[in-house]
Chains A and B, each alone.
Chain A
Amino acid sequence: MLRPERMRRLLIAAPKSELDTIIRELYRHNVYHIEDFVPESSPGALSIGHPLPEASDAASALIKVRAIENACGIDPENVEVKAKLPASKVREMIRKDLPVIQKETEDLVGSRSKLEARQKEHEQRARELEPFTAVPLDLEFYRGYTRFTVFTGHIAHDVEIDVPNEKYFSDKVAGNIIVVVVQNEHREQVERTLLDAGFQAIPVPEETGAPADRLKAHLEEARRIEGEVAAINGKIAGIREKHTDFLVACDELLTADVERAEAPLRFATTEETFLTEGWIPERIFEEVKEALVRVTGGKIYLEELEIEHSDAVPVKYDNPSFARPSQMFMDLYSRPQYAEIDPTLMVSIVFPIFFGMILGDVGYGLILLALSLGLRKFFKAGDGRLLLISLRNASIVSIIFGVLYSEIIGYSLPWAPIIYSRHLNIGGHAAEHGAQVAELLIVSIWIGILHITLGRILGMINARNLYHGKHATQAILSNAGWLGVMWGIILMIWSMYAIPLMPDLSWLPAVVMGFNPATVVGAVLLVGGIIAIAQENVLEVIEIPTIISHVLSYARLAAVGLSSVAIAMVVNYIAIELMISPQLENLSAVGVVIIIVGIIVFLLGHVLNTALGILGGGLNSIRLHYVEFFTKFYKGGGKRYNPFGMESKFTEE
């Protein structure tokens, strides 16, 4: 549970005639993590295998299926499984139905893109025509003159032209439009005048008739084509409706075919035989071995290889089901190495507690719970789903802490806080006790001390598992040294100051040089700890101040939570007490508006605070794990266990 699943290393050697059978059997079990074969260049060495003959057929069929899925907007990840189709039936349908569906989809997509191109063209024409609608002149009269030049374009303002001309200016369209007709000999002079006024020429569309009519015609055409496109989209949606189940089944079956057919590329081969190495989880190792012998009729050589210290063993998590969503947090950071402790279980327990301590509000907890349950529709699988489950657990714990703190969106529940109160004095009415800030901070420091102590102890266990000989002893001692320095400092503080909720050792009689025994023990631990740290690596000594900053960092459990309480209470105070209640007492027309504004402030404020609650609660809790907890023991960098095979969702043999 606290370690990744145990693995065994298997070598398979068999004649090439058994290749297909063995690949099928391994694929069916879906447990064999293949170690890719890397060929050497020396002569006579083993060479990489060739894909099975059906590889190219399966691959091209798969491309077709993926293309159809793409066109119809089907994502196999998000398709719900209705019934599993038998593989033989799917193969039959791939031969008969797939080409038909493909043709149909291709035609539809083809005509849709043609229509869309035409629609764009009409829209473009309409845009070009738009400026000319301001000029009461048919389009054919703009061109075809031998002795006159026509200027058309946008201009900043109307201009006076000091040669004989015909001119029309309009500011009814964006950018204004000016049309000037002059004799050819005045052309350059007029052009200069126009350019001085910011003239930008626009070409006259190659059409005839009144611009406004043409514009209308083009827009109507574009709208008509849009309708046709919508009809085609409807047909494509029909295909999706009808064939989704079949298409995802094809996708799955063909993906499996391709993966199987390409497996020999990861094997080593000689003329007549092939070799492959891989990893199988210990609990089914023997079962798979027996199955392989059975299907090949004994024409196979199997050998379990020793796991060497330098081997990168693939890491498969081995956690109880409630802890599985937290594996996502682990993968986000780094997967554990095979030999080290897998802290997923601890994260899955401690993360929701931290989150709940920070948020600790029945109202926000219920909102987040509803959110995490409601969003499940949109995340059917993958990391998003795991995140939602983590959020759900965290919000349940938030509700529990909300009951303990007696908080609901910044108001108090009908009972006094069962643990320390976070009811701040906002708006002038203090609750019975007011917030017990100091106590909350000290409790969170306590949590920090214990969490870090746990981390260091795990560090010692990991050092024993990961290293050997002298190095292991050094690493264990150094971890003990860090613990010694931390507890030494704590003991010395206790022996000098009386702190609420912490042991008070300041009353002890002085023994040496005016210091009491606790101070002396603390100092010894501190010095011994520093020596123990330095014996592994002298440079580590400069990291010692992080002990204090890491422990104090846990104060965020109280501090971030209090700031979220403060925001909630301030929002309530502004919205309810300053805006809504005074107006409700003597209602007036203006009062109703103020009440509505008050409601908006209330809603916006609490939405913002909910978002801050997720960020503050989630990020700070996970950060306490990543930065303060994991740095004490966790190495990470393990290889992901990626078995050869597939969980079939849509098909069955």
Chain B
Amino acid sequence: MVDVGTTLEMVQASQVGLKAVGAGLAVGLAGVGTGLGEMGIGAAAVGATAENRDMFGLALLFTVIPETIVIFGLVVALLLLF
């Protein structure tokens, strides 16, 4: 189904646009995933740290584990764009 009015330039432009949309989705969805992951961990980590100050290091460690997901999203987005 090729529209008669579609020119090569328009196709190229929309390809670039879709790439940008894809990059945005990669970062955004990965961010949502990280947020969901950190939600529960963060709450528990704050609780544990309030109980025992020494837990802080371990609690921070657990909290940032899902961070990797958003970095993957960012890497994919960068590779898409460049």
A residues near B, CB below 8 A? Answer: 332-334, 434-435, 437-438, 441, 549, 552-553, 555-556, 558-560, 562-563, 619-620, 623, 626-627, 636
Contacts and interface: CB of A to CB of B under 8 A. Distances in A.
B46 to A, nearest CB: 16
A426 to B, nearest CB: 11
Interface in B12-51: none
Contacts of A620: 67
Nearest to A445: B75
Contacts of A636: 57
A533 B82 CA distance: 39
Nearest to A555: B75
Contact of B68 (A332, A438, A549, A560): A549
B74 A559 contact: yes
Given A332-B57, A435-B82, A559-B78, A623 B64 contact: yes
A559 B57 contact: no
B75 A441 contact: yes
User: DSSP majority for the A interface?
Assistant: helix
Query: Lowest 4 A-B CB distances belong to which pairs?
Result: A333-B57, A437-B82, A559-B74, A556-B71
Interface residues of B, number: 18
Given A435-B82, A555-B71, 15 more contacts: A332-B56, A333-B58, A334-B57, A437-B78, A437-B81, A549-B68, A552-B72, A555-B74, A556-B74, A558-B78, A560-B74, A562-B78, A563-B74, A623-B60, A623-B67
Given A435-B82, A437-B79, A627 B74 contact: no
Contact of A626 (B61, B74, B81): B61
B62 to A, nearest CB: 9
A552 B61 contact: no
A627 B75 contact: no
Contacts of B54: 334
13 contacts: A334-B54, A437-B82, A438-B82, A441-B78, A549-B68, A556-B67, A556-B71, A558-B78, A560-B74, A619-B64, A623-B60, A623-B67, A627-B65
A552 B82 contact: no
Contacts of A562: 78
B4 to A, nearest CB: 31
A434 B72 CA distance: 22
Contacts of A332: 56-57, 60
Given A552-B75, A559-B75, A623-B64, A334 B82 contact: no
Nearest to A436: B82
A409 B64 CA distance: 28
A280 B1 CA distance: 84
Given A334-B57, A627-B65, A559 B71 contact: yes
Nearest to B67: A623
Contacts of A560: 71, 74
A594 B40 CA distance: 44
Given A434-B82, A435-B82, A562-B78, A553 B61 contact: no
A636 B61 CA distance: 14
A562 B78 CA distance: 9
B78 to A, nearest CB: 5
Contacts of B72: 552, 555
A552 B65 CA distance: 13
A555 B75 CA distance: 7
B57 A626 contact: yes
A434 to B, nearest CB: 7
A619 B72 CA distance: 17
Contacts of B81: 437
Contacts of B61: 333, 623, 626-627
